[in-house]
Amino acid sequence: MNVDFLATKNTKSVPTSVSTHDETNAILSLIAAAPYVWKIRDGKESFQWQSESLTSSLFCCRAEIIPNTLSAMGERMCDDAKSTRAEALRSLTWNGAKFQIDYQIRTFDGRNIWVEERAERISGDETNPTKIIGVLTNIQSRKVREEQAGYHASYDSLTGLWNRPRMAEGITQMLAFSRRYDRESAFVIFRIANVPDINLTYGYEAGDRLLTAIAKRLTKCVRSPDVCARISGVSFGIGLSDCNAEQMELVAKRILETLTASPYGTPYGDLYPEFSVGGTICSKTPMSASDIMEHAYTAAAHSELQSGEFIAYASELPDLKPRQKMTELTRDDIIQALNDRRISLAYQPIVHAQSREPHHYECLLRLRRDDGEIVSAAQFIMAAEKLECVHMLDRRAMEIASVTLQEHSTIKLALNVSAATVKNRETADEYLHALKGLGKAAERVIVELTETVALDDPALASRFAVEVRALGCDFAIDDFGAGHTTFRNLMAIEADEIKIDGSFIRDLSLTPHKQVFVRMMVELAQTFSVKTVAEMVGSREDAELLTRLGVDYLQGYMFGMPSPVPVIPKGPQRKAMGDARLGNT
């Protein structure tokens, strides 16, 4: 076959304009999308689909009955989709405004499917009609995948029971119940000791059949509000509400009798599981779900040594179960990195919303391993808090920042301080003493404290803020909005600045309800004369919208990546940097 001849023939027979149109329709068809144009002038509306074939495919109907008016389209919407869409349309108050919403429509073949609607206002003033272009895309398959992903995030795919993370949430709720109502709860683990032998002898399918059968028998033993989960490959856990130590043992033995009362029939013959059973009381003293599980695992390990006899956890029980390492980094690793000067800072610019000129720089911790790999703060700060050495990192960050402040006489820096440092009076005093040692340079420091501390203990946060501001520093609340801090707390803490959590900023221009939240935060912050910073700004549209909403400062990769030294534009380059990053040049 002459391939060159066919290519030449096809090129000559199809005009370029037709080919482009066909290609566009082909692309839209592949993503099951139907475009439209909607014009509004003097109260009159003109709504028109741009492709009958694509719209027919989306609504599963003949071309002559596709919903060609807004009212007809509204009749195909399910539940509160009409009000959701109406609210989104009301947000298109300026040229370039966009929205993105998901809702369900009824197709003409009797199904309800999910669609995504994206729209943008491209014109509209005193002389021109308002023109909105949009596209409806069939996202039913995506929604199904999301639902499945959501299911697997909480449920074990083999047995249908809760998984370990979901059980951890359940234990946390039990602990809260115990503390609130002064009652005890319990957590019991049933571990199948011989599943590896069954897998080796009969194959993994036999082991899976056994686990599924045990899960079914186990669920019959559990009554609401008690909960059941598969917390590891061979272990099941049961949370028992309002249960003391004596009741826990009785319930555990009763369930064990049910699980072992008869063999489990499979195509490979009858299978006889061997259990070890351990439990612990969820006491009224402060504990975490992780602690509760570890205690129950320890008890189950001792049960295996006692031929499956029920063992209740006690503090004097030796820990026979090797604990998982919380992190690859140990306390010695972090201290050695401090001694070797392998802790450093990366500086990310935070710019004025109006001018795009750098206002200050956030100091982000970095750790360099022995092999040269750079580890970001998110990977080791949490470990350092658990290892009770994070205050050393906070102090080291300030030491490095002090050198930068000396080298750059006009620069302003934002330093993050951890909750563990602030909550410990001794480490908090040491931090404040180091701040005082900066002297006049302290006036160019912003101390950032995460919102969770302000939420957990507003009085503590307020006291720390007062002491920081007395030294000449500004005080900021980081991740504002993530923990729903009330503005009453904000007023009590007297913060100079709040950083709006990035979850509210991401895709802001496409998400009307986020715009409402951000507008509310900014307006209330302005009422208290508090400056606002939007972090994780990812697009020009988001940046422009945030500026119109009155946000004072913007932070994100589009304005500058974290770098080993502060990148300080000089003269006219400052404005050019902001414009270039936004695509204005």
pLDDT in tens, 435-462: 999 999 999 999 998 766 655 677 788 8
Determine, yes or no, domain membership for 361: yes
| CATH for 112 | 3.30.450.20
Residues 298 and 398 occupy one common structural domain: no
pLDDT for 490 equals 60
Q: CA 369, 373, 377 angle in degrees (round to 5)?
A: 75
420, two tokens: 């563990």
Query: How far does Cα 250 stand from its chain's mean position?
Result: 41
Mean pLDDT of 155-174: 87
The domain boundary residue, chosen from 144, 169, 189: 144
CB 107 within 8 A of CB 61: yes
Block residue for tokens 């509160």: 80
- Which DSSP string do the residues of 236-266 spell out, in sequence order? EEEEESS--HHHHHHHHHHHHHHHHSS-EEE
pTM: 0.54
Tell me the β-bridge partners of 102: 116
pLDDT classification of 8: cutoffs 50, 70, 90: very low
Determine, yes or no, domain membership for 559: yes
Separation between Cα atoms, residue 100 and residue 116, nearest integer Å = 7
Determine, yes or no, domain membership for 405: yes
Residues 370 and 299 occupy one common structural domain: no
Our count of domains for the chain comes to 3
Residues 188 and 124 occupy one common structural domain: no
Separation between Cα atoms, residue 380 and residue 337, nearest integer Å = 12
Determine, yes or no, domain membership for 133: yes
pLDDT for 452 equals 60
Query: How far does Cα 354 stand from its chain's mean position?
Result: 29
The domain boundary residue, chosen from 82, 109, 144: 144
Query: How far does Cα 111 stand from its chain's mean position?
Result: 32
pLDDT for 463 equals 87
Determine, yes or no, domain membership for 115: yes
Separation between Cα atoms, residue 13 and residue 122, nearest integer Å = 35
pLDDT for 224 equals 79
In terms of residue numbers, what domain contains 266?
155-312
pLDDT for 20 equals 63
**What would the pLDDT profile of 485-514 be if each residue is shown by its tens digit?**
555 666 667 789 999 988 889 889 888 888
| CATH for 171 | 3.30.70.270
**pLDDT over 50 (residue 406):** yes
**pLDDT over 50 (residue 9):** no
**pLDDT over 50 (residue 14):** no
Residues 267 and 340 occupy one common structural domain: no
Mean pLDDT of 23-36: 83
Residues 132 and 168 occupy one common structural domain: no
* DSSP label of 522: H
Residues 112 and 31 occupy one common structural domain: yes
pLDDT classification of 578: cutoffs 50, 70, 90: very low
Residues 533 and 498 occupy one common structural domain: yes
Residues 113 and 172 occupy one common structural domain: no
Residues 462 and 487 occupy one common structural domain: yes
Q: Which residues of 360-397 are buried (b: 16+ CB within 10 A; e: fewer)?
A: bbbbbbbbeeeeeeebebeebbebbbebebbbbbbbbb
Residues 513 and 385 occupy one common structural domain: yes
**Within the chain, what is the greatest distance between any pair of CA atoms?**
88
| CATH for 395 | 3.20.20.450
Type and span of the H or E element at 375: strand 374-376
Q: Across 470-565, where does the E strand assignment appear?
A: 474-480, 497-500, 531-534, 553-555
**pLDDT over 70 (residue 199):** yes
Of the candidates 432, 440, 364, which has an alpha carbon nearest to the alpha carbon of residue 397? 364
Q: Is the peptide bond before 225 cis (omega within 30 degrees of 0)?
A: yes
The domain boundary residue, chosen from 312, 342, 357: 312
Average pLDDT, the chain: 83
User: 439's torsion region: left (phi>0), alpha (psi -120 to 50) or beta?
Assistant: left
Of the candidates 552, 566, 443, which has an alpha carbon nearest to the alpha carbon of residue 500? 552
**pLDDT over 90 (residue 303):** yes
Residues 162 and 121 occupy one common structural domain: no
**pLDDT over 50 (residue 292):** yes
Determine, yes or no, domain membership for 452: yes
CB 65 within 8 A of CB 80: no
**pLDDT over 90 (residue 132):** yes
Determine, yes or no, domain membership for 323: no
Q: Are strands 358-368 and 264-266 parallel, antiparallel or unpaired?
A: unpaired
**What would the pLDDT profile of 267-281 be if each residue is shown by its tens digit?**
878 999 999 999 999
Determine, yes or no, domain membership for 6: no
Q: CA 215, 218, 219 angle in degrees (round to 5)?
A: 90
**pLDDT over 80 (residue 325):** no
Q: Out of 114-128, 254-268, 371-385, 566-580, pick the least confident.
A: 566-580
Radius of gyration of the chain (CA): 31
pLDDT for 456 equals 64
Of the ranges 19-28, 221-230, 465-474, which is most confident? Answer: 465-474
Residues 210 and 119 occupy one common structural domain: no
With 0-12 / 13-18 / 19 or more C-beta atoms within 10 angstroms meaning exposed / middle / buried, residue 568 is middle
